[in-house]
């Protein structure tokens, strides 16, 4: 699923395509994709003829700074991907939004499950949106152990749930949360408030390390339905995952079979030896 490394790879690919370019026209073919706008019809209207000055990212949100203080917001949801193509090239199914850029370049938003969205927001609308509630970007502004500890203090919820909470830290999703916890040797079911200073330090080391590793390898493409780079290539990180999706397979660190359980309503994978459920105990959770 698109998480921070996939969104960042998408962003880097799109920077030379979009930055400084004029969006000549835009089509929203499924109204649902524009549902975060007060009026869905605003999207093409607000994009038409406007230059995109800078393409940034906060967590899993792509943020395009447009002329006259408008922001283009794109979230890939769980099955969204952006595809760069020439006009007239065959379209992938579920091409729900198309941006027509300079020349005959198109940026196509393909999203079968429509959990993604596009929005074009004024500064006021942006301030009122959930964007303003996002926590610091997990890569650009990685947490220090003391600040993460302060956010986790007193929390009974599983540390996995807290890592997925975009208001605490922005960018981790289900795959990279499992990978971060594995690298840091922290059991996903542990109450957030119970982590030791050493475990908080390990988490803070693991968060940027795992994300940078994911970015370096082009992100994680689980299957052909999910995330692909904007030129259609798959990311290479799938084969490097240590925990996520590896139920019954050997932990790359100790060889113990990875276990799976539902934590925080999400499929969760960990090594019962490297990530014991209680300090000093080596058994399964």
Partner DNA sequence: AACGATCCCTGTTGGC
Partner DNA sequence: TGCCAACAGGGATCGT
Which positions lie near DNA, rule CB under 7 A? Answer: 1, 3, 32, 59-61, 75, 77-79, 93-94, 112-115, 130, 154-158, 161, 164, 166, 173-175, 192, 223-225, 262, 264-267
Burial (Cβ within 10 Å: 0-12, 13-18, ≥19) of residue 219: buried
Cβ contact 112:225 at 8 Å: yes
Q: How far is the CB of 127 from DNA (least distance, A)?
A: 14
Q: Rounded to the nearest 10 degrees, what angle do helices 197-216 and 145-152 cross at? A: 110
Cβ distance to DNA smaller for residue 23 or 173:
173
Q: Which residues contact 23 (CB under 8 A, 6 or more apart)?
A: 47, 48, 49, 50, 51, 52, 66, 99, 100, 101
Cβ distance to DNA smaller for residue 208 or 245:
245
Cβ distance to DNA smaller for residue 94 or 100:
94
Q: How far is the CB of 36 from DNA (least distance, A)?
A: 7
Q: Tell me how far the alpha carbon of residue 170 is from its chain's centroid.
A: 8
The structure tokens 């991907």 sit at 81
In the chain, the DSSP E strands lie at 22-23, 25-28, 50-58, 61-66, 71-75, 81-86, 95-100, 105-110, 117-121, 259-263, 266-270
Cβ distance to DNA smaller for residue 21 or 170:
170
How far apart CA 235 and CA 226 sit, in angstroms, is 10
* Dihedral sign computed on CA atoms, order 82, 88, 92, 98: positive
Q: Tell me how far the alpha carbon of residue 176 is from its chain's centroid.
A: 9
Q: Which residues contact 285 (CB under 8 A, 6 or more apart)?
A: 187, 189, 259, 261, 270, 272, 277
Q: How far is the CB of 101 from DNA (least distance, A)?
A: 25
Tokens of 257: 């079979």
Catalytic residues: 2-3, 60, 266
Q: How far is the CB of 184 from DNA (least distance, A)?
A: 19
Q: How far is the CB of 21 from DNA (least distance, A)?
A: 26
- CA nearest to 137, candidates 167, 105, 93, 110: 167
Cβ distance to DNA smaller for residue 23 or 134:
134
Cβ distance to DNA smaller for residue 248 or 265:
265
């Amino acid at each position: 699923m698109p998480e921070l490394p996939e969104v960042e790879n998408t962003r880097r690919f799109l920077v030379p395509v979009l930055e400084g370019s004029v969006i000549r026209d835009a089509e929203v073919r499924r109204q649902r994709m524009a549902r975060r706008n007060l009026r869905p019809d605003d999207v093409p209207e607000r994009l038409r003829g406007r230059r995109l000055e800078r393409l940034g990212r906060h967590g899993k949100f792509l943020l395009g700074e447009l002329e006259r203080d408008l922001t283009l917001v794109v979230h890939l949801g769980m099955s969204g991907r952006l595809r760069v193509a020439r006009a007239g090239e065959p379209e992938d199914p579920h091409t729900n939004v198309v941006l027509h850029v300079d020349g005959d370049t198109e940026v196509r938003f393909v999203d079968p499950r429509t959990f993604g969205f596009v929005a074009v927001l004024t500064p006021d609308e942006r301030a009122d949106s959930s964007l303003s509630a996002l926590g610091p970007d997990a890569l650009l502004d990685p947490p220090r152990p003391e600040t993460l500890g302060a956010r986790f203090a007193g929390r009974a919820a599983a540390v996995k749930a807290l890592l997925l909470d975009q208001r605490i830290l922005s960018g981790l999703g289900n795959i990279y949360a499992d990978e971060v916890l594995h690298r840091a040797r922290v059991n996903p079911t542990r109450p957030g408030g119970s982590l030791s200073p050493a475990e908080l330090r390990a988490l803070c080391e693991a968060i940027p390390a795992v994300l940078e590793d994911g970015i370096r390898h082009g992100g994680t493409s689980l299957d052909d339905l999910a995330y692909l780079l904007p030129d259609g290539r798959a990311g290479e990180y799938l084969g490097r995952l240590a925990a996520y999706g590896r139920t019954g397979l050997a932990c790359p660190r100790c060889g113990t079979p990875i276990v799976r359980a539902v934590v925080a309503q999400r499929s969760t994978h960990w090594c019962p030896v490297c990530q014991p459920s209680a300090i000093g105990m080596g058994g399964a959770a």
